[in-house]
Amino acid sequence: MLQYLLDLIIGLGIGFIAGLLGVGGGFLIVPTLVLLGEPIHLAIGTSLACIVLSSLSASITHIRRGAVLYRVVLLKEIFSVPFAVLGAYLSSLIAGEKLKLIFALLLLYLAYKMARREGGIEENGGEIHNFRVPIVGILSGLVSGLLGISGGVLNVPLFHTFVGMPMRYAVGTSSFALFFTALAGAIEHYQLGQVDVHTAILLAPGLIIGGRLGALTAHSVHPETLRRAFAGVLILVALKMLL
């Protein structure tokens, strides 16, 4: 009984953060599963299966609130998928420590940009630059393939600061895009026997409820608060990469 309660609490916490910020939550799920005794490869595959659930739950809420730009999702994924494959291939040719350093520095720069961003499209009615979306897709796909993480931590800040999307649209669109990315990865890992279905099922209720609650919260907090919260998460992930 205690284990079920623990899984529910873990799922609620991770799902909430994923729904609130439009990230996959893999940077939380993988270390949590490893601490609970899962081998690392099994933890990664199970994490992707969990991200499918949390991102789907969050996406439904964001879609109902009209905060998903489908054209952006399609355009991004067209470029993300092949570059994720390329990134996976390149990962065997480039030193892992150098990759982590480059990625951490990129995250710290994006955190700075998001924390310092004043005003925003929500207030000034700026233009969304759809022609920049393929660049986000390429970067997100490469990083995902190179480092074995979801691209959510890149999607949201780049959607917001580079493409020019309002923060809530950046979060909602990222959540929906992550569903397809995670689903493809989860299927591949499942075929390799690297998904702990039992653990994923135990975490599922918390992830689904938490994802919905997080997405609802994202539509009720001020965009500036959401930006600064995401900047904080970027800093935490960057530090994890460096340490």
pLDDT digits (tens, 9 = 90+) for 19-47: 898 887 777 888 888 888 888 778 888 88
d(CA 70, CA 79): 15
Q: Which of 1, 7, 59, 56 is nearest to 29 (CA)?
A: 7
Helix (DSSP H) and strand (DSSP E) numbers for the chain: 11, 0
Residues 6+ apart with CB under 8 A from 47: 24, 25, 26, 29, 30, 33
d(CA 190, CA 186): 6
pLDDT bin (cut points 50, 70, 90) of residue 149 is low
Total number of residues shown for the chain: 243
By mean pLDDT, which of 100-114, 120-134, 157-171 is the weakest? Answer: 120-134
pTM of the model: 0.83
Q: Which two tokens stand for residue 227?
A: 């930006």
pLDDT bin (cut points 50, 70, 90) of residue 189 is confident
Amino acid at 198: H
Residue 6 vs residue 122, higher pLDDT: 6
pLDDT bin (cut points 50, 70, 90) of residue 66 is very high
Residue 89 vs residue 200, higher pLDDT: 200
